[in-house]
Structure 1
Amino acid sequence: MHRWLGFLSGLVVFIVSISGCVYSFQDQIQDALFSYRKVNRGSGDMLLPSRLIIIAKTKYPDGKVSLVNYYTPDRTAQVRINTGKVQHSLFIDPYTGRLMHDDPDFKHNFFNTVKSIHFYCFFPPAIGKTIVGASTIIFMIIMITGLVLWWPRRKFDRKRSLTIKWKTRWRRVNYDLHSVIGFYVFSISFLLAFSGLSMSYDWLSKSIYWVANGGQEYKKELKKYTSDTTTKVQNIVVIQPIDAGFLYARKRSPKTEMMLISPGVLPKSPISYTCYPRVLHFSYSDTYSIDQYTGKILKELPNTKKSTGLVLLGTNYDIHVGQIAGLSGQIIMFLAGLISASLPVTGLFIYLGKKKSIQLRKGRGAHSVRQRRLDKSLN
């Protein structure tokens, strides 16, 4: 089972693991490479989201804004605007309104391409999601079967099973790299796979929510709100609803370092605000929703009032990439991803080595039979 399931999923596991490693430090890499992601902190307040939308619409009048993102005071704000076939990501100084950078094909920049490979493994999304999901489940089964194979039967075998014998044949070193390191990384790799699956499949995230809440479902926090399309917008508006919601969310969540705003693209969709206490970390969020026509508060759900299940689901991404434990956690998850990518490779070498050994033994056996027959004929 361990061997043949490895053949089925090995290549996909290798690609998914390597792409995950490349993507894991994408924020730090982009901060180091691209100066437009940072700005000098201004003396005044940040521009309101309606003003950022006007700047984006001035450049692309026919575009539809899908996101407005605020980060820490020393970072540019980001506006995503769809012009049809192309989704632009505009980086704007939140104090002066100056356009710092226009990424004309945001979905296909390097790191988003890496993320797409991680999710879909070069396949179309519908097919790739199924293949990657199935391979991840198989990988989890392989890890369990590998643990059973590794488990020492006798007490004096335990030390040998926990150390790599470097001063021996390369095949033995390869075997130890597969089995010993595989054991050490078992729990972290299993967590990597499980957290990745829970972000991809609703049935698993709903199961986690149900189990973490002891079988209870809190309908109020899961309720979907809509804007009232029958309300007529007055010609004279003191403050735009999206700005009113922004000011309200910032007042109610004063420790916010990052705010993601969905401006309500569809007629019935509300304007949604997600406030995070740490920039580029997606845990412990406060969420707000308002009517896009009237500015009426529809939903206010601070993290302190969320159920255990919802809080756990909110930390899923940070757990998956390790940043919930800071830089050290990211490094641990990065190394676990590299080791997970190495396991199919070392496993393949183990299989090829055993196959070659069997062939050699068979060849020696055939040679012995021929020799005995020759000796008998000579006698």
Structure 2
Amino acid sequence: MHKSIWFQLHWFFGAIFGVLLLLIGVSGAVLSYEKEILNLINKDTYYVQNLDNKSRLEQSEVLKIYQENNIDTKINSISFSSLENSSIVLNIEKEGARKGLNIYLNPYTAEVLPQIVGKDFFMFFFSLHRWLTFSGDTQWIGKQLVAISTIVAIFLTIGGVVVYWPRIKANFLKSFTFSFKYKKRAFVSILHSSLGMWVVPFFIIMCITGLYWSYDWYRGAMFTVMGVEQPKRVSQKVEANNKPQTIVYDNISKSIEIFKQNVAKEYKNANLRLTPSKDGIYTISYLYANATHFRETNSMEIDPNSSLVVKDTKFEDKKLNEQLMASMLPLHSGEYFGWFGQLSYFISSFLMALFAITGYMLYYDRWKKKKAKALKEKVKS
């Protein structure tokens, strides 16, 4: 009896939310390898060649040259790497860009490199994945539809296992396989079910982590359950943008030098905020070159006046619960589990389209048979 109820609920919610889940899944798959694709098509921006065997300029020199040529530009931060062929990145304030605009510079010549291409393409799919492309005052509608669809996806995943349970119980390993000997509806049905078994754990993790960005109460509950203090968002005052910027190049140069002397190993990226704290402390966030994912960030606080490292917080020293809460996005994308997780999530997300299409095919076939049966009974009567 319960199996029949789960079956009815499964196809009912699947029929209603199938299209939305298809869009969310495919857009998520497209975003899976965004960083890798952008790196591939923007090699002349992310990386440089030292054809004239020049010495690398100090980061503060590159910063100074750019500022002298762009006097009215406010620079938020500078990013650099221990990798010799990596470009330097300045984040500058730009109207309408909440996170600022990244400018890429050649570390040997301070020449401005071409802007990144392809960002708009991925931004569209990001908007589709998060808000179904709703924007402005209607963005909340898209956000709620994505959130509800995510909850439905959890329900469909569990319901699918319940409906498929007799076969799982009879032969667990065989329940993960399908055969081309089946024809028409039988083949579609077994394909829908068996492939679904492969992605159950991935779907559950993707959905549970995806809701992190949907509801404040849910996000707060996750921090509470994990026993981690939720970081507070610092609201930036708009008036601060109008204040003239004073860059103390000596302090920046000294802070970077202290960082290089104390960093434990090669780093893929180090980001220095140009505005120090009230106590004159500069903060450098950095990512080791061998990091599994982009959220394994460390932080070093430096006092250039006393030439001391005030604090060095490493990701690897955090407790597991703190690491997990700091890695919510990599957990959602699969990058937390390395290349295998990223690939598995990519395939699983794309398979959402297959499940939606085959689900509609099964629903249509069922509807057609019911209609034919009703017509036949009507003729008899």
TM-score range, shorter chain: 0.7 to 0.9
The aligned counterpart of 2:3 is: none
Task: Give 1:77's match in structure 2, choosing from 84, 88, 104.
Answer: 88
CA RMSD of aligned residues (A): 4.0
Query: Is 2:204 the counterpart of 1:190?
Result: yes
**What amino acid maps onto 2:328 in structure 1?**
N
Q: Among 308, 326, 338, which residue is 2:320 paired with?
A: 308
Q: How many residues align?
A: 355
Q: Does 1:39 pair with 2:44?
A: no
| Contact preservation (8 Å) 1:90, 1:102 | yes
What one-letter code is carried by the residue in structure 2 that aligns with 1:132?
A: V
How far is 1:323 from its partner?
A: 2.9
Instruction: Indicate conservation of the 8 Å contact 2:73/2:93, yes or no.
Output: yes
Question: SS where residue 258 of structure 1 aligns?
Answer: strand
Output the CA distance in 2 between the equivalents of 1:98 and 1:117. Answer: 36
Q: Deviations over 1:76-132 (max 9, x none)?
A: 1222323324654321122331211135x99x6222332232222211244433332
Identify unmatched segments of 5+ residues in structure 1: 230-234, 370-379
Query: What pairs up with 1:247-258 in 2 under 5 angstroms?
Result: 247-255=257-265, 256-258=267-269
TM-score (norm 1): 0.77
Q: Does 2:374 match 1:362?
A: yes
Aligned to 2:243: none
Select which of 345, 353, 356 maps to 1:341. 353
- Mapping of residues 274-353 of structure 1, within 5 Å: 274-278=285-289, 281-289=293-301, 300-353=312-365
Which structure 2 segments of 5+ residues have no match? Answer: 1-8, 241-245
Which range moved further: 19-28 or 292-301?
A: 292-301
2:114 partner SS:
strand
**Which one of the candidate residues 12, 18, 26 is aligned to 2:26?**
18
Which residues of 2 match residues 1-379 of structure 1 at below 5 A? 1-36=9-44, 37-40=46-49, 44=55, 47-48=58-59, 50-58=60-68, 60-71=70-81, 72-85=83-96, 88-103=101-116, 109-124=120-135, 125-152=139-166, 155-156=169-170, 161-198=175-212, 201=215, 203-213=217-227, 217=228, 239-240=250-251, 242-255=252-265, 256-264=267-275, 272-278=283-289, 281-289=293-301, 300-369=312-381
Distance 2:55 2:63 in 1: 19
Which segment is superposed worse, 139-148 or 39-48? 39-48
Q: Deviations over 1:179-225 (max 9, x none)?
A: 11112210012112223333555544444444344xxx569x9898x
CA–CA distance in structure 1, aligned partners of residues 283 and 320 of structure 2: 22
State TM-score, norm by structure 2.
Answer: 0.77
Greater C-alpha Rg:
1
Hey, what does 2:6 align to over in structure 1? none
Q: Tell me the alpha carbon deviations over residues 331-370 of structure 1, each in whole angstroms, 9 at most, x when there is no partner.
A: 211111111232222211111111111001111112222x
Alignment check: 8 A CA contact 1:81 1:89 kept: yes
Equivalent residues of 1:64, 1:265 under 8 A apart: no
Which secondary structure does the structure 1 equivalent of 2:294 belong to?
A: coil
Contact 1:69–1:78 under 8 Å retained in 2? yes
Cα offsets for 1:260-310 (capped at 9, x unmatched): 344449999985432111378314321235689999977542224423322
Is contact 2:78-2:271 (8 Å) kept? yes
2:151 maps to a residue whose letter is I
Secondary structure class of the residue paired with 2:181: coil
2:209·2:332 contact (CA, 8 Å) conserved in 1? yes
Q: Out of 68-77 and 292-301, give the one that drifted further.
A: 292-301
User: Residues 119 and 298 from structure 1, CA distance in 2 versus in 1: closer, same or farther, beyond 3 angstroms?
Assistant: farther
Does the aligned pair in 2 maintain the 1:189–1:340 contact within 8 Å?
no
